[in-house]
Amino acid sequence: MTKISDAIRTVTADKKVTADEWKNVLKPVADAAPKEASADAREVVKLWASDGFEVDSAARRGMRDFLQSRGYEVPTAKPSGAKPAELEQAVIASNVTEADAAFQGLAKAAGRESAEQTIAVLDSGFGIDHEGLDTKLWTNPGETAGDDVDNDGNGKVDDLHGWDFVDDDANVNSGEAGGHATHVTGIATQGSDNINSISMRVFSPFDAQQVADAIDYAAANGAKVMNMSFRVSDEESVKTLVDAMKRHPEVLFVKSAGNDGRDIDTYDADAYLPFRELENMAVVSAADPDGTKADYSNYGSPWATHATRGSDVVSTVPGGDYEAMSGTSMAAPGLTNLAAKMLILDPALKPADLKKMMAQTTDRSDAWKDVTASGGLLNEQKAYELAALTGLMRRGVPADTAAEQLALSEASRAELLPLAQEYVK
């Protein structure tokens, strides 16, 4: 039992929460909770979502402010008709430091709960001291922290969590530029401590050769998914990056579609990463919270391959805080995160497999037809289930037995078992 739960039980004995009770009784206890996800914060979520108490409007606003400061996305008003338990779970799931219960359950059922996956985020400077990222950073097993020695002999001294390719040193916190990289990292690693992110500063300024060097570095250290939420806009840079990406066909490169609100087909083809040349690249468009395409998002099939939410996404920012940001920069790491979890469930999946499986499990709609190649928004739950199926089947578990082991619904079995057979002959 948490301290806040004791306080809530006392305050709500009369089925009411006044503004004074929130300010003077509950908030002081809640403020003592850590900034990352916690049992105390979840108790406040439960209280906010409950319809069993009369809550003063000022108290409800105070709860919302507190929860948002802890990284939870909370509506300004409770949606009418929403069931408290479902609303509670939706708010909890919005926090990038909360465990992804659906993924964790499948990983345990598949015997993959201890498996890990390394990814890389190529971005600006990072705030890697954020408490919410403590357990999600890649740590170089060949380095000894702070001894000023290149222990692993790779030419980089003390590269414990990654490398700053702009200043050519281990201080990846340099050039933070408003928290973009930290925000992206939170999304890319959300829901699991088993995703280990290599932090690589590659701008500003942008230099394609430094990005190519970062790609080689991350691949050498086991990254199978690399997030690239940045613009590439000249022919020479494109050639340099394409050459680097082709050197690593085992890596899925996840690129933001861009924020000009344009069909990608209208760009100069020589100054844009060529989709047709790179089977191992996904290009991600952004959706608003209601599932419609964000006005700012670039789009166009087949160049934009997938789509997921990119608007008003709450994630980690420097200083231990959380903020909402919008852009295809926020959509791309959503796909990076999904790919990493799918690889935990089935490490034999190739980049082309990941892209195809995500498309096959996408929630298609007329609104997204021809907007992206997949024709809809990522459905993470279905993609997890399909990867968990192929992972078990690849280890010799019969298809029906695998579906039973994963406790898949009849509808999921009917949809996913035929798809799984495509990947496991």
Q: Is the pLDDT of residue 177 over 80?
A: no
Q: Which residue has the tokens 């929860």?
A: 67
CATH architecture of 101-379: 3-Layer(aba) Sandwich (3.40)
Burial of 414 (0-12, 13-18, 19+ CB in 10 A): exposed
pLDDT(275) > 80: no
Buried b (16+ CB within 10 A) or exposed e, 133-172: beebbbebeebeeeeeeebeeeebebbbbbbbbbeeebeb
Contacts of 6 (CB under 8 A, 6+ apart): none
Confidence of residue 8 (pLDDT cuts 50, 70, 90): very high
Mean pLDDT for 323-333 is 97
Provide the pLDDT for residue 145: 87
User: What's residue 110's pLDDT?
Assistant: 98
Per-residue b or e along 46-84, where b marks 16 or more CB atoms closer than 10 Å to that residue's CB:
bbbbbeeeebeeebbebbbebbbebbbbbeeebeeeeee
pLDDT at 178: 60
Give the whole-angstrom CA distance, residue 295 versus residue 334.
19
Residue located via tokens 């530029």: 177
Peptide bond into 204 cis (omega under 30): yes
Query: Phi, psi (5° rounding) for residue 272?
Result: -135, 140
- Looking at the predicted structure, is the pLDDT value of residue 1 above 60? no
pLDDT in tens, 357-384: 999 999 999 999 999 999 999 999 999 9
Query: E strand or H helix at 187, and its extent?
Result: helix 180-188
What's residue 356's pLDDT?
98
Mean pLDDT for the stretch of residues 11-36: 92
> At residue 328, what is the residue type?
T
Confidence of residue 174 (pLDDT cuts 50, 70, 90): confident
Least confident residue range of 20-29, 93-102, 168-177, 218-227: 168-177
CB-CB contact of 284 with 305 (8 Å) = yes
State the DSSP code for 24.
I
pLDDT digits (tens, 9 = 90+) for 292-325: 999 999 999 999 999 999 999 999 999 889 999 9
Interior angle at CA 27, CA 24 and CA 31, nearest 5? 135
Instruction: Record the tokens describing residue 312, joined without a space.
Output: 């008003």
Report the pLDDT value the prediction gives residue 14, as an integer from 0 to 100.
95
121 near 227, Cβ under 8 Å? yes
Asked if residue 97 has pLDDT above 70, the reply is yes
